[in-house]
Amino acid sequence: MTPSIGNDDDLTDLQRQALGKVRRLISGEATIADVEDAKAWQARSAAHKEAFAFAGRLWGQLGPAGQNVLARSGEDLLAPARPAFRPSRRLLVGGALAACAAYVVVRPPLQLWPSMSELAADHRTAAGEQKSVRLVDGASIELNTRTSVALAKSATNTTTNQIELIDGEALIDTGRQLTSPLTVIAGNGRVSATGARFNVRHDGTLSCVTCLAGVVDFARFGATRRLEARQQYTYGGQNPGAVAAADLTAVTAWQEGLLVFHQTPLAKVVAEINRYRPGKIVLMNASLGERSVNARFRVQNVDEIMTLAQQVFGAKVTSLPGGLVFLS
């Protein structure tokens, strides 16, 4: 059961300890010793395991917002438990929303919950979910996992003439009925096309446009270029980007429920797989992340990466509640 934000019950000593363990694990400074300590702590008893699961769910629901609320109330989640603290519904809800407003506009740590911009999207998919959106003007959008888009209508308010890819990956088919170009914004780039199919991906720092059929016009920083079928343009930040030949099979494999990797560093494989599963796989060993992977995974079975890491690379796998997995 998901913990209630408005629960007035006291946090138990074990829950306080568990929250400290979880905060340490996702702080960005966790070590193997911290992982082993958390695993040993939750294995002490069923009560410890239940408290750890509670802490993981609570952190996932409130994140730093909830932490800030408790901190303002004089609580230190890493310190020994203090006398009973009774957070009121008004404190938790009001404080969490205030803290969230300043925090979730950027990418949340570990992507354990959606950002504010993602929550405001017209269409959004969860981890492992895909969705088709048909537009009234004959165009269509196929949303991949963890994808958010916002739609803008034309001046006549009868057709969609602009799509903003807030985050994730989408395949756009403009159809044959458009009389004016459909525009897709991804990061600081803008794609315009009629009579074309193209795949667009944006993860907050890096974007990629792949022309699958027809031609697309791309504009960025006042410069324009045209992409033809089987061409791909990758860009990010102030980087000028580059055009390259595209492997269409790999680019569109997600539509067939597949992830295809050719000589791909394990770190990149893990980053991609994290988009398709709840929780987070964390690499604790930089040299392990450099190992090359040749593999195909069904999106329903992406956790097979743990078996591969163990059997092929000799990695140690440590699993914790909430889908958190550490590879070392």
Residue whose tokens read 């195909």: 296
In the chain, list all ranges with CATH 3.55.50.30. 257-327
In the chain, list all ranges with CATH 2.60.120.1440. 120-251
Checking if the pLDDT of 111 tops 80, the result is: no
**What are the CA-CA distances from residue 248 to residues 117, 139, 144, 215, 244 (Å)?**
30, 21, 16, 15, 12
Q: For the chain, how are helix, strand and coil distributed in percent, rounded to 5?
A: 35, 30, 35
Strands, DSSP E only, in 102-214?
123-124, 131-134, 140-143, 148-153, 160-173, 182-186, 189-193, 197-202, 207-213
- Provide the CB-side half-sphere exposure for 125 (13 A, CA): 22
For 143-184, what is each residue's pLDDT tens digit? 999 999 988 865 555 566 889 998 999 999 999 888 889 999
CA gap 15, 215 in Å, rounded: 56
| Residues 313 and 266 sit within 8 Å (Cβ to Cβ) | yes
Which architecture does CATH list for 257-327? 3-Layer(bab) Sandwich (3.55)
For 195-243, what is each residue's pLDDT tens digit? 999 999 998 789 999 999 999 999 999 899 999 999 999 998 888 888 9
> Which candidate, 76, 88, 12, 23, places its Cα nearest to that of 50?
12
Q: Identify the pLDDT of residue 194.
A: 93
Q: Identify the pLDDT of residue 81.
A: 36
| Residues 60 and 112 sit within 8 Å (Cβ to Cβ) | yes
**What are the CA-CA distances from residue 301 to residues 136, 168, 257 (Å)?**
35, 20, 10
Which architecture does CATH list for 120-251? Sandwich (2.60)
More confident residue, 112 or 166: 166
User: Mean pLDDT across the stretch 181-196?
Assistant: 94
